[in-house]
Amino acid sequence: MNDQPGRPGRKRSEESRLAIIAAAVELTLEVGYAGLTIEGIAARSGAGKQTIYRWWPSKADVLLDALVAKAELHIPVPDEGTYEADLRAFLGSTFALGSRPQVVDLLRALMAEAQIDSEFGERFREMFLRHRRDALGTVLDQARVRGDLPASPPPETAIDIVFGTLWYRILATRRDVDQQLIEELIALLTRRDR
């Protein structure tokens, strides 16, 4: 591969890369993930199939690149002073992301593909899910340092509960994540035992 400079031969075409990612996203919206094909992406983007195969192992990876590009911008780790405020800020930005239907469609498709293709699953967890977990982990850490964090549940479980509930809404109930759910989660997690 020839995307870094100083090597002989033609450089990777940034134009093609962007056209391929854009075509993949457009087609997913138009015909659904099931109807998305490498051939379709090539035709729409004006690229040759080989160019896609050269740089991505599967159509899901193209979409993952698209998602990562979009998502990168939207996970600031908040530091508002209290656990509750941080949590509200974090979930708020997650909610904002998750209320864009195109993004939700991508998420659902990629999570599905991750179940079916375990090598892609590895990449999806590493390149997308882990960043999210880490961000929430940092929020919890800040709270622990401040002494703001309830003793139970332990951080790992809290993370599972938060993301689990959000993902379950998307995957299983087809209801969107709403503000009320977020408040209930905050209430649950900031509550202290009697």
The residues binding a copy of itself (CB under 8 A) are 32-34, 108-109, 111-118, 121, 125, 129, 152-154, 157, 160-161, 163-169, 171-174, 181, 184-185, 187-188, 191-194
Q: Which stretch binds DNA (CB under 7 A): 40-48, 96-104, 131-139, 177-185?
A: 40-48
Which position among 49, 100, 130, 191 is part of the footprint of DNA (CB under 7 A)?
A: 49
User: How many angstroms separate the CA atoms of 148 and 83, rounded?
Assistant: 6
Exposure class string for 3-42: b at 16+ Cβ within 10 A, else e: eeeeeeeeeeeeebbebbbebbbbbbeeeebeebebebbb
From DNA, a copy of itself, none, interface partner of 157 (C-beta below 5 to 8 A by class) = a copy of itself
Give 50 or 173: the residue with its C-beta nearer to DNA: 50
Under a CB-based contact definition with an 8 Å cutoff, are residues 159 and 118 in contact? no
Q: Does 190 bind DNA (CB under 7 A)?
A: no
Residues 83 to 122 in contact with DNA, rule: CB under 7 A: none
User: How many angstroms separate the CA atoms of 78 and 92, rounded?
Assistant: 11
Give 57 or 76: the residue with its C-beta nearer to DNA: 57
Nearest one of 120, 121, 74 to 98, comparing CA atoms: 74
Give 51 or 94: the residue with its C-beta nearer to DNA: 51
Smallest separation (angstroms) from a copy of itself to the CB of 79: 26
From a copy of itself, DNA, none, interface partner of 117 (C-beta below 5 to 8 A by class) = a copy of itself
User: How many angstroms separate the CA atoms of 146 and 81, rounded?
Assistant: 9
